[in-house]
Structures are given as C-alpha cells and as structure tokens.
Amino acid sequence: MASSAIPAADLRSFAEYLKGCKRIIALLGAGISASSGLPTFRGAGGLWRSYEATDLATPEAFDANPDLVWQFYSYRRHMALKAQPNRAHYALAELARRNTDFITLTQNVDGLSPRANHPSKQLHHLHGSLFTVKCTSFYCTYSRENDFTDPLVPALAIPDNTPELNPSTDDKTGEVASRSLSQALKGGEIKEADISDERVPLPALSTDVLPHCPKCKEGLLRPGVVWFGESLPSKTLNQVDKWMNAAFVDLILVIGTSSKVYPAAGYVDKARARGARVAVVNMDRNDVGSSGLQPGDWFFQGDAGTIVPELLKGVIGEV
C-alpha cells in the first residue's frame, strides 16, 4: 500500500499541519509528470537522442538548428498528448477546488495539470506550454494557444517505423519514455538498457517545411515555452508576487523538481520568508534546493503520483 512507503510519524505530522493550513503554494517540476511516464530533463530520464534536453531548450539552439529543436518539441508534444494525468495531478486539482487560497506554480509545459481539470485561475505556468506557438519575427506578435494538432506540419510527423511512444504510468521516472525518444528515429527495437552514446543523424528538414506564421507569412513559428536566458511571463510573475505578498504563507509543496532552475526554484525561499513550512516530494534525497532542508520541513522520498494523494487525503479524500 502506498502509505507504507511514507514514514508514519512524518505522514501524521504533515497531515495534522495541513488541516490547519490556509495559504498553500505548490511548485511542480518534471518529476510529477514522470509519474505519467514523461521524461524529465536531468539525470537518466533527461536525454534525447543523446543530446542533453537542456541544451535544446535555448534560443541559440533554435537559431542554429530550428529543425532539430522542432523535432525535439514535436516528439514531446506527441508524448504529452498520449500521456495521462496521474493521481498527483488530480489530487492537487481537488485541493485547489476545496481551497481557493491554494495556488500552483508549474514549470511543466505538458498540459497534464489542465487536463486534470486543475482550476485555471489557481494554476500558473512559469515556463509556458508545448501547445502554444508564437512567431519569431521581431515585427510580429502572433501567438496561438491550445493548439493540439499533432503533427503541427506534415514534416514533423513521427516516422512510420518509429517505436510507439507510449508514456506509461508504470514508468515512474520517465526513463523508458526518454529511451523511446532517444531511439525514435533509429526505427530500432527499444531494449531495456539501450541509451545510445552516438548522435544518430536526424533527417535534415529545410526551414521551408517547418511551421510558419499564418499572420506575417514570413516568420518561423517556435514553441511557446521559456528557454534559458528568456524572461518568464511577466503577467504570471506579477500575479504570483501579488498572492505571495498578500499575507503569510502556511506551506509550500515542492513536487518533482530538481530545484536548479531560477527564478522558479527561488519561490521556496520566498515562501519560507513569508512563514511557510516546506514539504518536498522527490525520488532523489539530494534534490532539495540550494538552501537544503531546515527544521520543520518534511522530505517524502518516492513517486509523486503515489505520495501526493496520500499526503492530501486527510483534506481531499480519495482521488
């Protein structure tokens, strides 16, 4: 049973505290969606065709190789659409319905929290969405949200000989899906320990066949996500700051993030400074952020999809 993995005393003290909490914030990272079988960014689940996923998440990578970066994002869109929200996404959505002073900041771009019907006013997307596209032309402001077309253009279709990219909730770390991504264009059978060190040549795609702006007709479209060196959406940051500064904060839940990317990771210390106790849910005990754990914090080690519903059960019931 899920709860047996959580030390009983910690579960009890957390559940007791949670019942008295009013203002709660959650910070989500790729680990919550690893519970749905999607790859993470760092660690074993963080390779795509032997590229570091984070090397592809930059404006420089897109400028230099828009076809490589578009293929990376096209696979990610495809996998995210096939994945299903897990019990952690549903549990947080339910907590939001029961407590309108609970907000969630997600770094994830996969759309799984909205698909779990998380109330949208209480969900802030810090790093954008895979399903937004925007024009790269300096002179054009075109942007389109909630475009779930797969593939976006014929050239980005997943080749027929690709092993099925089926994220599975049996894969709690996203590693299997990450291997699928790595192997995808090889057309080969995916074996358990098969993470290639070679960079397999991608089909070179001419810029002409990549998605273009329907408004200005000239600019290349790009994924509506936030890459390294880019600003996070200012409207979102302002809304979060307003909430944060309105009153003291009781609790911050830090779920499935390596807490290495800023400004997102900085919300833990901001919440702490507003009085919050911190509860971290992660597979890796080392991923607790730069200021570490402090007295009064909780660390729950394991799969978010199992642990989060267990932690929230006393307030939201079974999901």
Neighbouring C-alpha atoms within 13 Å toward the C-beta of 258? 12
Going from the C-alpha of 289 to that of each of 35, 108, 139, 262, 278, the distances in angstroms are 21, 18, 39, 11, 11
Q: Quote the CA–CA distance of 101 and 79 in Å, as a whole number.
A: 32
Count of CB atoms situated within 10 Å of the CB of 204: 8
Beta strands in the chain (DSSP E): 24-28, 47-48, 51-52, 102-106, 123-125, 128-135, 143-144, 221-225, 251-255, 277-282, 298-301
Decide: is 133 part of the binding site for ligand BJW (CB under 6 A): no
Q: Which is nearer to ligand BJW, 55 or 194 (CB)?
A: 55
Under 8 Å between Cβ of 110 and 127:
no
Q: Where are the alpha helices (DSSP H) in 149-207?
A: 175-183
User: Quick one: which of 95, 253, 261, 278 contacts ligand BJW (CB under 6 A)?
Assistant: 261
User: Quick one: which of 6, 26, 38, 40 contacts ligand BJW (CB under 6 A)?
Assistant: 40
For residues 165 to 204, the per-residue mask of contacts with ligand BJW, x marking binding by CB under 6 A and - elsewhere, is: -------xx-------------------------------
Q: Which is nearer to ligand BJW, 23 or 34 (CB)?
A: 34
Q: Which of 78, 89, 124, 127 is catalytic?
A: 127
Q: Which residues pair with 128 in a beta bridge?
A: 225
Q: Which is nearer to ligand BJW, 74 or 282 (CB)?
A: 282
Known catalytic membership, residue 127 = yes
Q: Quote the CA–CA distance of 258 and 41 in Å, as a whole number.
A: 9
Kindly state the smallest distance separating residue 156's Cβ from ligand BJW, in Å. Answer: 16
Task: Find the binding residues for ligand BJW in span 265-294 (CB under 6 A).
Answer: 281-284, 287
Q: Which is nearer to ligand BJW, 23 or 181 (CB)?
A: 181
Q: Quote the CA–CA distance of 2 and 9 in Å, as a whole number.
A: 15
Interface segment toward ligand BJW; rule CB under 6 A; list 28-36, 150-158, 204-212, 291-299:
28-36
Kindly state the smallest distance separating residue 317's Cβ from ligand BJW, in Å. Answer: 22
Going from the C-alpha of 148 to that of each of 33, 35, 220, the distances in angstroms are 18, 22, 18
Under 8 Å between Cβ of 214 and 142:
yes
Q: Which residues pair with 124 in a beta bridge?
A: 105
Under 8 Å between Cβ of 307 and 300:
yes
Task: Find the binding residues for ligand BJW in span 68-107 (CB under 6 A).
Answer: 107
Q: Which is nearer to ligand BJW, 30 or 103 (CB)?
A: 30
Decide: is 248 part of the binding site for ligand BJW (CB under 6 A): no
Q: Which is nearer to ligand BJW, 215 or 301 (CB)?
A: 301
User: Quick one: which of 82, 115, 260, 272 contacts ligand BJW (CB under 6 A)?
Assistant: 260
Count of CB atoms situated within 10 Å of the CB of 18: 21
User: Quick one: which of 24, 35, 85, 249 contacts ligand BJW (CB under 6 A)?
Assistant: 35
Task: Find the binding residues for ligand BJW in span 46-65 (CB under 6 A).
Answer: 46, 54, 57
Q: Which of 304, 224, 242 is nearest to 103 (CA)?
A: 242
Decide: is 127 part of the binding site for ligand BJW (CB under 6 A): yes
**Residue 42 among known ligand-binding residues:** yes
**Residue 43 among known ligand-binding residues:** yes
- Binding region for ligand BJW (CB under 6 A): 29-31, 34-35, 40-42, 46, 54, 57, 107, 109, 127, 172-173, 225-231, 256-258, 260-263, 281-284, 287, 303-304
Give the residue numbers annotated as catalytic, written as ranges.
127
Residue list, annotated binding site for NAD(+): 29-48, 107-110, 256-258, 282-284, 304
